[in-house]
A and B are shown apart, each in its own frame.
Chain A
Amino acid sequence: MPENSLYGPLDPAPDAGYVDAPPRMGFFTDTSVCIGCKACEVACKEWNNVPEHGLDLLGMSYDNTGGLTANSWRHVAFIEQPVSRDRLADRGTGVGGQAGNQPPAFAGMPTTTVAAPESAVAAATTGKETGTEPGVVPGPEPAAAAPATTQFLGMPSSVLPGQLPGGERTDFRWLMMSNVCKHCTHAGCLDVCPTGALFRTEFGTVVVQEDICNGCGYCISGCPYGVIDQRKGDGRAWKCTLCYDRLRDDMMPACAKACPTESIQYGPLDELRERAAARLEHLHGIGETSARLYGNDPEDGVGGDGAFFLLLDEPEVYGLPPDPVVPTRDLPEMWRTAGKAALTMAAAVAVAFLGLGRRR
């Protein structure tokens, strides 16, 4: 246990002062069984009365939501991922398409030259502006306009789909992942909220109270994941509540309820972590060696997430920051530094007055 509540592992609800708090509740989103149906997005909007995000064809595979915003509290990312032959050879049978000891999806397909440069350029853009700005992800730049490279960085790559720069058709897989607010143990948004609109619930989740939020926007820069967002024409901040109202009635959050393949699992966080560890072991066992958990570690930069994930590749591939850190982590250190500076300043001032006094 660290010396303060701003960093490191802790149970947030008791820490926030709840006596006899229920177990901490959360999501475990297992992307290895996500089928990209977007039922979570729709169920969330229906239950929480979230307005539409707008009719924008983004060209980012089947993702026309763009990201987590004030008007999209669940977001399904679609990643069309070229997979090099070498890498395929490392993978066993398993999830997410083809694998090492099976013929790859497009084995034997004709290989042709790369498309026209103008096609390649257009293929790398992300289309029109979205209705609300998609959450801006800190960390590496989204790959939209990145220079040509064989490494796949996220959304549409600079290389034409299905092509390596050499012009040969690669093998391929299609990843899908339902993203959501992480309900961090140390929530940057909550820590910086000046009005108390953001609060920690008895379930350990983080919720904005719409009738208190004054739209100052501090929380937006406080979120290391770029999740919380201001609604245009409204100004207030909005994000996933983990269906706080449903939880209080002992009901499952809408997205988890709607998920047909149990990609979104809801439950006590301890239980979910156990389940996730077992699932990961299973996937590793069948050769899905690049599978990993994300946000499950209480020692990470946000003290672990209340909503964590099983990913089939590096977090950057999904547009997630690899090593998120709550900005308030350094608050004590900053205060100490500030304090020292203030003392130094005070001393300097004192010295100055002393000097004056002496001169007098």
Chain B
Amino acid sequence: MAECHPVGFQWAMAAKERGAKIFHVDPRFTRTSALASTYVPIRAGTDIAFLGGVINYILSNELDFREYVLAYTNAATIVSEDFRDTEDLDGLFSGYDPDTGVYDPVTWQYQGHEPQAAARDTVIERETASPLQHESHGPGVSWRVDRDETLRHPRCVYQILKRHFARYTPEVVEQACGIPREKFDEVCRAWTENSGRDRTTALVYSVGWTQHSVGAQYIRTGAIIQLLLGNIGRPGGGVLALRGHASIQGSTDIPTLFNLLPGYLPMPVAQLHPTYSDWVTSICHPKQKGFWHHAPAYCASLLKAYWGEAATPDNDFCYGYMPRLTGDHGIYKQVFDMIDGKIKGYFLMGQNPAVGSMNGRAQRLGMANLDWLVVRDLFEIESATWWKNSVEVETGEIVPTECRTEVFFIPAASHVEKEGTFTQTQRLLQWREKALDPPGDARSDLWFFYHLGRIVRQKLAGSTLPRDRAILDLAWDYPTHGPHDEPSADAVLREINGYDVKTGLTLRTFGQLRDDGSTVGGCWIYCGVYADGVNQAARRRPGGEQNYVAPEWGWAWPDNRRILYNRASADPQGRPWSERKAYVWWDGKKGCWDGYDQPDFEKTKPPSYRPGPDAEGVEAIAGDDPFIMLGDGKGWLYASSGLLDGPMPTHYEPPESLVRNPLYGQQANPVRKVYDRPENITHPSPPEPHVGVYPYVFTIARLTEHHTAGGMSRYVEHLAELQPEMFFEVSPELAAERGLTHLDWGHVVTARGVVEGRVLVTDRLTPLPVADRVVHQIWLPYHWGPNGWSRGDSANDLGGMVLDPNVLIQEGKCGTCDVRPGRRPQGRELVTYLNDYRRRAGILESHHTPIITTDTAAESYRQGRPDK
């Protein structure tokens, strides 16, 4: 956090000054470790084993916040009797299909709910990363469940969880993660002692945590601990995701993702949602609790924002114009589609995949097979120059004179040269003014897209082709100003907020959005940011002039609520859990919820409210159901739906590992997404032979001094000089083992590439004793490329693309490698060198590690299909 979020880390420091303990768990000893109370080194890729150990500690000592757990989580819910755990199947859950490589989740359902899941197609769900939509969309679960309030039923979630994590003992944690017993005990004690009625603990992670083939399950494990200890929806608690850039939260809210639309509405899938009503129904989940019930209003208002007057109830608001997913269109699949010639043109905005994306060689080879490529950036980044100065030019794989891609470089305005909002990790929108005009031809992204659209529409004007209607019918009428006709960002924000079509007045809350076409709303969760015709994101009332929640600084979605699910900060009767942790509460006299924050609950629904038997949607949310976006109103310790790789997190080794999974016969995530291609070879991993060819573990990360792929730092002298050259860090022990010398050259080798840099020998890295061996870890910053002031090899050339099945994110933070002193070979010799390694590892042509490494797959399959 200190390393990549120094500005945010001031608050961690402020908390420490007030007596908070900070634990830092990381394979590397970073600036965060230096300031933490306790540093816990860990073997990369074993976080579920570690956190699973914490869960086991909580459950076996019954240290959970019982009243919270019972009332607010699904701990008491009874699960289907057909469910089989990884305990029973050596690392697989019931329902695994070895042919398709995905689970049928029927047996994971709550008792009596099995038929609901029968209609799902988990193959399509993995291809389209559909669990990502559940970020706020909420998977389908009915709220009528069987419960055992005593938590003694052997199939209640609490007992299943307890059995599942029973084998995650301190000894296993020590063996799997390399974390000494005393350190582990210290973490467990501190976490549990600092949680409860009077105290809360926050879990903070940076998004590198998600970059694993079990990434979504990492977060789940943390969330389970926080739910068990009553740390969700309460001040000082939570699972806080520090995003990798200034507005990454904003770029998922109004997404740059292939499978999402604004406000986490899912992109329609061709096979599943041929009609508007199919699409809308799939979102609003009839018969469930919660606010997704109003999805028709969110969808209609969004389509109205796109197509304005052309969108009417009679033509399903132009739903027919919407593009549909036909499968995996994720960023990595796109790269291979480019290599295969299926994608002809590409826009790159504020992204430098030639350096910043995993498997750099595949990225560059893909771009080298396009017809055209548009790069908009502040500087001439590597993604615009790979055709003349990349490693592939060195090796002869890309020949500048023959490369057919036409590259257009267009200068972009920086964040201080344009106006707009940033949405940060707390979902807080903050408006910023333009400080100065962009230089020369540089323009804002808004300018670029608006005028691109305008010109395309001009060119199509008069066309009678049906295919052009989607463009010609767009509402494309933003006011412009200034010498360059800059579109008004303010007007865009107003449209995102939404307004009444007749009166033109802005809406105050998403409850005012309508499904009949009478409202426009570009992103339903942002509704209210322009309430009363005022840009609420531009509010800057100083913290000293308001309560500590500071509701009048900027604006947070939804409805300016600063902590989500904050109904949980009060007990079931609506009283604060403790005076110290009072946040929102039920005021019986006024008959409404009150507090320091906007209650994340219907303002006047009393704690005693109980829904009738036929209630659905918002009406079905009971007065003590804090998790208002989930189908049963509860926090999920066990996710019967929504994740493709299991209802509970399970430790799997990374696809490339040095050791056998110490917990199960199943080595790695059995549902992981693999692209089996020669550009994307995976190293042998136990139980395969030849693991020793790549005998070390590498992890890739960032430094304070540079920004991601370096586009904003390597080209600026004052930043470039702070970390002037590519380096990587090794422990003194590894330096001795490999003859590496401090500040001399060294290089790191994988089957995908070789990366050289200066060696930094430092005791900030430590060898870890794991099982019967010592694991050496190397860490490399990934900021460099051949352009800019500060140059060097790109560490991401080392990584491969093996993906988490839920959200299609890459295993980017651990792999195996070799490390050698001296510079890497150049030119054709580099290819020979790589091939020599691959020959010795037996992976010359193509290779990925076996998906299933246990013999229980058939049994798992049968369990999922009782009739077979």
User: Chain A: residues with CB nearer than 8 A to chain B?
Assistant: 33, 35-39, 41-42, 45-46, 52-57, 59, 61-62, 64-65, 80, 82, 93, 95-99, 102-103, 105-110, 112-116, 118-119, 122-123, 125, 127, 156, 160-163, 169-170, 172-176, 260-262
Check B6–A37 contact: CB distance below 8 A: yes
Q: Can you name the residue of chain A whose Cβ is closest to the Cβ of B736?
A: A115
Pick the contact of B764 from A95, A118, A172 — CB < 8 Å? A172
Chain A CB within 8 A of B717 CB: yes
| Mask: chain B, 3-37; 1 = CB below 8 Å from A; 0 = not | 00011011001000100000000000101011111
| Mask: chain B, 723-743; 1 = CB below 8 Å from A; 0 = not | 111010001110110011111
Check B721–A174 contact: CB distance below 8 A: no
| Mask: chain B, 745-766; 1 = CB below 8 Å from A; 0 = not | 0000000000000101111101
Chain A CB within 8 A of B46 CB: no
Check B41–A118 contact: CB distance below 8 A: no
Check A119–B761 contact: CB distance below 8 A: yes
Q: Closest CB-CB distance, A326 to chain B, in whole Å?
A: 32
- Hey, which chain A residues are within 8 Å of B733, CB to CB? 110, 112, 115
Check A55–B704 contact: CB distance below 8 A: no
Check A80–B761 contact: CB distance below 8 A: no
Bound form: Cα–Cα A105–B9 in Å: 21
Check A35–B29 contact: CB distance below 8 A: no
Pick the contact of A122 from B2, B41, B741 — CB < 8 Å? B741
The 9 closest A-B pairs by CB, nearest first: A162-B763, A108-B180, A115-B736, A55-B724, A174-B34, A37-B6, A123-B742, A52-B717, A161-B763
Check B34–A115 contact: CB distance below 8 A: no
Check B736–A113 contact: CB distance below 8 A: yes
Q: Closest CB-CB distance, B792 to chain A, in whole Å?
A: 10
Q: Which of B404-449 contact A (CB under 8 A)?
A: none
Check A109–B705 contact: CB distance below 8 A: no
Pick the contact of A33 from B13, B724, B764 — CB < 8 Å? B13
Q: Can you name the residue of chain B whose Cβ is closest to the Cβ of A63?
A: B722
Check B742–A107 contact: CB distance below 8 A: no
Most buried by A among B13, B719, B740: B13
User: Chain B: residues with CB nearer than 8 A to chain A?
Assistant: 2, 6-7, 9-10, 13, 17, 29, 31, 33-39, 41, 180-183, 186, 703-705, 717-725, 727, 731-733, 735-736, 739-744, 758, 760-764, 766-769, 774, 789-790
A59 and B183 in contact, given A119-B761, A169-B766 (Cβ under 8 angstroms)? no
Q: Can you name the residue of chain A whose Cβ is closest to the Cβ of B30?
A: A174
Bound form: Cα–Cα A103–B181 in Å: 10
A-B contact count (CB 8 A): 189
- Hey, which chain B residues are within 8 Å of A261, CB to CB? 6, 9-10, 13
Q: Closest CB-CB distance, A89 to chain B, in whole Å?
A: 15
Q: Can you name the residue of chain A whose Cβ is closest to the Cβ of B762?
A: A161
Q: Closest CB-CB distance, B126 to chain A, in whole Å?
A: 40
Q: Closest CB-CB distance, A202 to chain B, in whole Å?
A: 30
Check A102–B38 contact: CB distance below 8 A: yes
- Hey, which chain B residues are within 8 Å of A56, CB to CB? 721, 724
Pick the contact of A110 from B183, B760, B774 — CB < 8 Å? B774
Q: Closest CB-CB distance, A87 to chain B, in whole Å?
A: 16
Bound form: Cα–Cα A301–B169 in Å: 59
Check B732–A163 contact: CB distance below 8 A: yes
Bound form: Cα–Cα A107–B705 in Å: 30
Bound form: Cα–Cα A169–B765 in Å: 11
Q: Closest CB-CB distance, A244 to chain B, in whole Å?
A: 21
Check A98–B34 contact: CB distance below 8 A: no
A59 and B31 in contact, given A52-B717, A97-B39, A102-B186 (Cβ under 8 angstroms)? no
Pick the contact of B34 from A39, A108, A176 — CB < 8 Å? A176
- Hey, which chain B residues are within 8 Å of A97, CB to CB? 33-36, 39
- Hey, which chain B residues are within 8 Å of A115, CB to CB? 732-733, 735-736, 761
Check A161–B34 contact: CB distance below 8 A: no
Bound form: Cα–Cα A162–B718 in Å: 31
Check A114–B724 contact: CB distance below 8 A: no
Q: Closest CB-CB distance, B7 to chain A, in whole Å?
A: 5
Q: Interface of chain A, helix or strand or loop or mixed?
A: loop
- Hey, which chain A residues are within 8 Å of B790, CB to CB? 55
- Hey, which chain B residues are within 8 Å of A123, CB to CB? 732, 741-742, 761
18 new A-B contacts at CB < 8 Å, known A35-B35, A162-B766: A33-B17, A55-B721, A55-B790, A57-B743, A64-B724, A65-B721, A95-B35, A98-B38, A102-B37, A102-B186, A103-B38, A107-B182, A115-B735, A123-B761, A125-B742, A174-B33, A175-B34, A176-B31
- Hey, which chain B residues are within 8 Å of A162, CB to CB? 731-732, 762-763, 766
Bound form: Cα–Cα A125–B767 in Å: 24
- Hey, which chain A residues are within 8 Å of B39, CB to CB? 97-98, 105
- Hey, which chain A residues are within 8 Å of B35, CB to CB? 33, 35, 95-97
- Hey, which chain B residues are within 8 Å of A62, CB to CB? 703, 705, 723
Q: Can you name the residue of chain B whose Cβ is closest to the Cβ of A107?
A: B180
- Hey, which chain A residues are within 8 Å of B9, CB to CB? 35, 260-261
Bound form: Cα–Cα A33–B39 in Å: 16
Pick the contact of B743 from A37, A102, A127 — CB < 8 Å? A127
Check A106–B766 contact: CB distance below 8 A: yes
Bound form: Cα–Cα A163–B6 in Å: 30
Bound form: Cα–Cα A261–B762 in Å: 26
- Hey, which chain A residues are within 8 Å of B6, CB to CB? 35, 37, 39, 260-261
Check A64–B10 contact: CB distance below 8 A: no
Q: Can you name the residue of chain A whose Cβ is closest to the Cβ of B733?
A: A112
- Hey, which chain B residues are within 8 Å of A161, CB to CB? 732, 761-764
Bound form: Cα–Cα A175–B764 in Å: 12
- Hey, which chain B residues are within 8 Å of A82, CB to CB? 763
- Hey, which chain B residues are within 8 Å of A59, CB to CB? 742-743, 758, 760
Q: Can you name the residue of chain B whose Cβ is closest to the Cβ of A96?
A: B34
- Hey, which chain B residues are within 8 Å of A113, CB to CB? 736
- Hey, which chain B residues are within 8 Å of A42, CB to CB? 718-719, 722
Check A80–B13 contact: CB distance below 8 A: no
Q: Closest CB-CB distance, A24 to chain B, in whole Å?
A: 27
Check B764–A80 contact: CB distance below 8 A: yes
Check A64–B723 contact: CB distance below 8 A: yes
Check B721–A38 contact: CB distance below 8 A: no
Q: Closest CB-CB distance, B157 to chain A, in whole Å?
A: 34
Check B766–A109 contact: CB distance below 8 A: yes
Bound form: Cα–Cα A76–B9 in Å: 18
- Hey, which chain A residues are within 8 Å of B722, CB to CB? 38, 41-42, 64-65
Q: Closest CB-CB distance, A112 to chain B, in whole Å?
A: 5
Bound form: Cα–Cα A35–B7 in Å: 10
Q: Closest CB-CB distance, A317 to chain B, in whole Å?
A: 15
Pick the contact of B789 from A35, A39, A55, A57 — CB < 8 Å? A55
- Hey, which chain B residues are within 8 Å of A96, CB to CB? 34-35
Check B736–A114 contact: CB distance below 8 A: yes
- Hey, which chain B residues are within 8 Å of A80, CB to CB? 762-764
Q: Closest CB-CB distance, A305 to chain B, in whole Å?
A: 24
Check A169–B763 contact: CB distance below 8 A: yes
Bound form: Cα–Cα A118–B59 in Å: 51
Bound form: Cα–Cα A107–B179 in Å: 10
Check A35–B761 contact: CB distance below 8 A: no
- Hey, which chain B residues are within 8 Å of A169, CB to CB? 763, 766
Bound form: Cα–Cα A205–B736 in Å: 50
